[in-house]
Amino acid sequence: MINAPRRSLASLPTPVSALPRLTELLGGPQLFIKRDDQTGLGLGGNKTRKLEFLVGEALAQGADTLVTAGAAQSNHCRQTAAAAAVSGLECHLLLGGSAPESVQGNLLLDQLFGAQIRWCGQHRKGEDLAEHVRLLEDRGRRPYVVPYGGSNAVGALGYVGAIHELVQQITEPMTHIIFASSSGGTQAGLMVGAAQTWLKTRLVGINIDKTGAADYADEVADLASRTADRIHLGRAFGTDEVTLRSDYLGEGYGIMGAAEREAMELTARHEGILLDPVYTGRAMAGLIGMIRAGEFAPDDRVLFWHTGGTPALFAYAEQLTKPSNQ
Ligand SMILES: *Cc1c(COP(=O)(O)O)cnc(C)c1O
């Protein structure tokens, strides 16, 4: 269906299930969840679907090394390191910040997967990638750059496929799909995939870290158009087709506030499902906020797309064990 090189990395399909206890607790629309925290590779997450196409392209081009960038607790970097390991590729990660005293969460896993880490200070979004690629080429390596967040028209194909997978799993449409949105590949891919199916769903991205929300919607629309072009969909996407909620940015990227913590605790205590403090906790806080604001009808069917990130939980142990009313 998607005509592009692909390296199988994920255990698919990921499960879809109802969230009856959370639905009852919130007195809201019928809630469902799609478990992309269970994509299987190196503790899972949404980057694995993108990496199937990115690593597919890297191998097709004869690359022997993956290079990518992210924050110290980047889920994307951790999944890239695991994808490189299972594919017999070397992995170089350019991480923001400096080497921490205690190694935890995703960073610990990066090291277990054998990734080579370079600390880049303020540059957590790949500013040093070009320079690092030259360095590797000088050493005779054949590097393939995995873009920040795996979000380009190749990586987004993973979420085009994910929508087709979902359509096979459900018999009644969802009125809304809610998910964390940050580098845009997930949202762009979902938009393109949804345009190919009967799924007349409102795709609502909860903006996690972009303060310039209008620009970010432009970027997502542009990426969706380029992704559509790659599969000859014959249609472009406008900014007006991108639904992004920027009212749940909280205290900024990576800072867990009361809303994220409440969302994580409610989901854990009522459904036995773990969310992460950076992405899915914030996205669920957005969904809860929308329910409380009366934005849904009682018979709406709302699917929360779990995008992973749970290894970062352990890096927040201290904040998560403080009394929550402080
Ligand atoms: C990267 C990431 C996202 C955001 O996905 P994008 O495709 O970058 O928008 C959401 N949730 C988790 C857990 C992530 O790691």
What pLDDT, on the 0 to 100 scale, is given for residue 325? Answer: 60
d(CA 66, CA 151): 15
CA of 139 to the centre of ligand 1 (A): 32
Beta bridge partners of 90: 65
What pLDDT, on the 0 to 100 scale, is given for residue 293? Answer: 98
Q: What burial class does residue 252 get, using C-beta atoms within 10 Å of its C-beta: 0-12 exposed, 13-18 middle, 19+ buried?
A: exposed
39: helix, strand or coil: coil
d(CA 309, CA 73): 9
Is 182 marked active-site?
Answer: no
Answer yes or no: are the C-beta atoms of 221 and 150 closer than 8 Å: no
Torsion angle defined by CA atoms of residues 101, 38, 250 and 259, in that order, rounded to the nearest 10 degrees = -100
Instruction: Among 33, 34, 43, 47, say which to mutate for ligand 1: greatest number of ligand atoms within 8 Å of CB.
Output: 47
CA of 208 to the centre of ligand 1 (A): 9
How far from 135 is each of 62, 206, 255, CA to CA, in Å?
Answer: 18, 37, 34
Is the peptide bond between 13 and the residue preceding it cis, with omega within 30 degrees of 0?
A: yes
CA of 124 to the centre of ligand 1 (A): 15
What pLDDT, on the 0 to 100 scale, is given for residue 210? Answer: 80
d(CA 90, CA 139): 13
The finding on whether 276 has its CB within 6 A of some atom of ligand 1 is yes
- Collect the ranges in the chain with pLDDT lower than 50: 326
Instruction: Give the pTM.
Output: 0.97
The finding on whether 286 has its CB within 6 A of some atom of ligand 1 is no
Instruction: Among 74, 182, 220, 223, say which to mutate for ligand 1: greatest number of ligand atoms within 8 Å of CB.
Output: 182
The finding on whether 309 has its CB within 6 A of some atom of ligand 1 is yes
What pLDDT, on the 0 to 100 scale, is given for residue 196? Answer: 94
Ligand 1 atom nearest the C-alpha of 312 is: 13
What six digits make up the tokens of 3?
Answer: 């005509």
Q: What angle do CA 149, 143, 53 make, to 5 degrees?
A: 45
